[in-house]
Amino acid sequence: MREALSPGDAERLARDAEPEFDTIVAAGGDGTVAAVANGIAAAPRPLAILPLGTANVLAAEIGVPRGAAGRAAMIAEGPARQAWPGKIGGRLFLTSAGVGFDADVVAAVDPRLKRRGGRFAFVWAALGELWRFRPTSMTVIADGIGHRVGELIVTTGRLYAGGFAVAPQARLDEPVLHLALFEDRGRIGVLRRWAALLFGCSARAAGATIVVARKVEIADPVGAPVQADGDIVAALPVTIEIAPRPIPLVRPNKM
C-alpha cells in the first residue's frame, strides 16, 4: 500500500502502479477515488473503493459493505463492471459536478475545518454562503438545447453529495449524464430545494427539471467555480461531457 498526501499524489501513484497489480484500490473519499480514476484513465484496470472520506457517495451508490470482512471480500472477489465517468476539460469525475450554490459552498470550505470536522465544514460553509447569497443566472446548453437556470447539478448515478437522491433513474453503466436544472435563482429557492433533498426527496420534487445529455456547455457567469466529486476543478466557461470510455469499477457480488 502507498499513501498519497494529495490528490496529485494519488493520481501519480495510480498512473505509475506496477502492471502486475490486477486491481487498484482507492482508500479515501470521492475526491481521492476521482484522482485515482484519472491516474488509470489512459490504461484502465479494475478500480476498487475503500471508503474513508468525508463523503463517500460512490461507495453508497454501488453498495460497498460496511464491515471490514465484506469490503475485503468485495475487493478480492467482486466483479469489475463498467462505470461511465463524466469529464470536465481533461479530467474525469465519477459521481457529480455542479455550478451555482453547491460549487460556491465547496469553494468556501475551510480545508482545516474539513480535516477536523468532516461534513460540519460543508454545513458551516453553506451557512456562510446563504448569508452572502446573491442570485445568479446561467445558460446551460445540453446537447444543443439551451436552458436558463440558477443552479446546475450533473450526476453520473442516482446519488449526490451526502447521498441525496438527485436522479433516481440514473445508472453508472449508462454513457449519459443526468442534469438537475433549478430555475429558481433566489435564496428561498435554494433553501427549499436543499431542505427537500435533506428530507429524502428527489431533485424533481425539489423543483428541478431532469434532463439527460451527453454534453453540457456553460459559459456564464465567467469565473464562477465548478465542483466535481467535492473539489473545485475549474471555473466557467466549461464543457461537461461523458467520458470517451468507461472505468472498470469493482462492485459487490450482489449487484
> For the chain, how are helix, strand and coil distributed in percent, rounded to 5?
30, 30, 40
Q: Looking at the chain, which runs of residues are DSSP E strands? A: 24-28, 47-51, 80-83, 86-88, 91-93, 96-99, 138-142, 145-149, 151-155, 159-160, 164-165, 177-182, 208-213, 215-218, 225-228, 231-235, 238-242, 247-250
pLDDT tens, position by position, 145-181: 999 998 899 999 988 876 677 888 899 999 999 999 9
pLDDT > 90 fraction of the chain, expressed in percent and rounded: 50
pLDDT tens, position by position, 5-31: 555 788 999 899 888 888 999 999 899
**Nearest-angstrom CA–CA distance, 22 and 250:** 11
**Nearest-angstrom CA–CA distance, 180 and 203:** 7
Reported confidence tier of residue 102, pLDDT bands at 50, 70, 90: confident
pLDDT tens, position by position, 203-251: 665 667 889 999 999 998 999 999 999 899 999 999 999 999 999 999 9
Q: What is the mean pLDDT of residues 62-85?
A: 93
User: Which letter does DSSP use for residue 157 in this model?
Assistant: S
Is the pTM higher than 0.85? The answer reads yes
**Nearest-angstrom CA–CA distance, 22 and 9:** 20
- pLDDT above 60: residue 4: no
More confident residue, 210 or 129: 210
Short-list 209, 205, 56, 227, CA closest to 140: 209
**Nearest-angstrom CA–CA distance, 167 and 153:** 10
* Contacts for 139 with CB less than 8 Å, ≥ 6 apart: 146, 147, 148, 218, 219, 220
